[in-house]
Amino acid sequence: MRKPAKVAAPDAAVYVYGVARGVVDAPVRPPRGVPGAGPAKALPAGAGLFLVAAEVPAEDYASGAIERGLRDLDWVSRCALGHEAVVEFFSRRATLAPAKLFTVFDSAERAAMDVQLRRPALLRVLRRIEGRDEWGIRVRVGRLPAPAGRRPAPSTGTAFLRHKQAARHAVRDALREARAKTSALLRRLGDAADATVEREPPAGPAGASLLLDAVFLVPRARAGAFRALADAESRACRREGLSFDLTGPWPPYHFSGARR
């Protein structure tokens, strides 16, 4: 097994952006990456695999420092954007399984050892995502119907309560119908992809209006057909008063064990 290049000084750690196969040397330098990081490099990790990694200050990326840093949303945002930029850069040049944000080792040797321990699983992931990208779909409630008829004056208590009940029933029925249509939409888009992951809605009002939050693993050769289908579904959703957001292509985070 070839030993990985030495990238970490005694006061440095190794930040891992992902594990790649078939890395192609780029004519331009990679993006800067996470705050304080050195240049991202492809380091041999054995069996044709490479660590996409960079040297970072150990004092800034030790577990305690990261835990404290998580309270600084600006720092976390800069880390996430830097991580994403490097992953996207290398994903255009190789098959890359992105690592989770803040994947840090105290040396390149330790990082390569981790790759070797997980080599069978990593090879399966890399075969699964090769030549594929991740696309995201979010469908939200747009407008909900109001019950027909004039709203009664508050002084007519019985009529007012009936009106409120009719409003609740109208919203309930509209949501039920919208969820049924969204389930059918998910099946149609899923049939056009190699794999699908449906994400849980967030808590609070933002999640209450979210009917679908899903990601799809799509071969690049079929990306045009997938996007055309998504555009058609988007038009149908808008006619039903639903909002439809398509994002991508992204590196396949949800299909490689990593999460953004």
Residue range 15-36: mean pLDDT, rounded: 87
Confidence of residue 27 (pLDDT cuts 50, 70, 90): low
Q: Which of 77, 112, 129 is the last residue of a domain?
A: 129
| Overall domain count for the chain | 2
Is the pLDDT confidence value at 88 over 60? yes
Q: Are residues 139 and 111 in the same domain?
A: no
Q: Are residues 184 and 114 in the same domain?
A: no
Q: Are residues 88 and 196 in the same domain?
A: no
Q: Are residues 182 and 111 in the same domain?
A: no
- What is the CATH number for 189? 3.30.70
What are the backbone angles phi and psi of residue 226, rounded to the nearest 5°? -65, -45
Q: Are residues 141 and 240 in the same domain?
A: yes
Mean pLDDT taken over the chain: 83
Scanning the structure block, which residue is given the tokens 């330098």? 29
Tokens encoding 69:
């840093």
pLDDT tens per residue, range 173-200:
455 565 667 888 899 999 999 999 998 8
Q: What is the residue range of 38's domain?
A: 12-129
The whole-model pTM stands at 0.77
Q: Which of 78, 113, 129 is the last residue of a domain?
A: 129
Is the pLDDT confidence value at 147 over 90? no
Q: Are residues 159 and 72 in the same domain?
A: no
Pairing mode of beta strands 242-250, 195-198: unpaired
Confidence of residue 252 (pLDDT cuts 50, 70, 90): very high
Q: Which of 83, 102, 129 is the last residue of a domain?
A: 129
Q: 118: Cβ–Cβ under 8 A, 6 or more apart, which residues?
A: none
Is the pLDDT confidence value at 84 over 90? yes
Predicted confidence at residue 23, as pLDDT, reads 75
- Asked which of 109-118, 152-161, 223-232 is least confident by mean pLDDT, the reply is 152-161
**More confident: 129 or 181:** 129
In a domain, 76, yes or no: yes
Q: Are residues 117 and 141 in the same domain?
A: no
Q: Are residues 176 and 204 in the same domain?
A: yes
What are the backbone angles phi and psi of residue 16, rounded to the nearest 5°? -105, 125
Q: Are residues 118 and 136 in the same domain?
A: no
Is the pLDDT confidence value at 4 over 60? no
In a domain, 7, yes or no: no
Q: Are residues 175 and 245 in the same domain?
A: yes
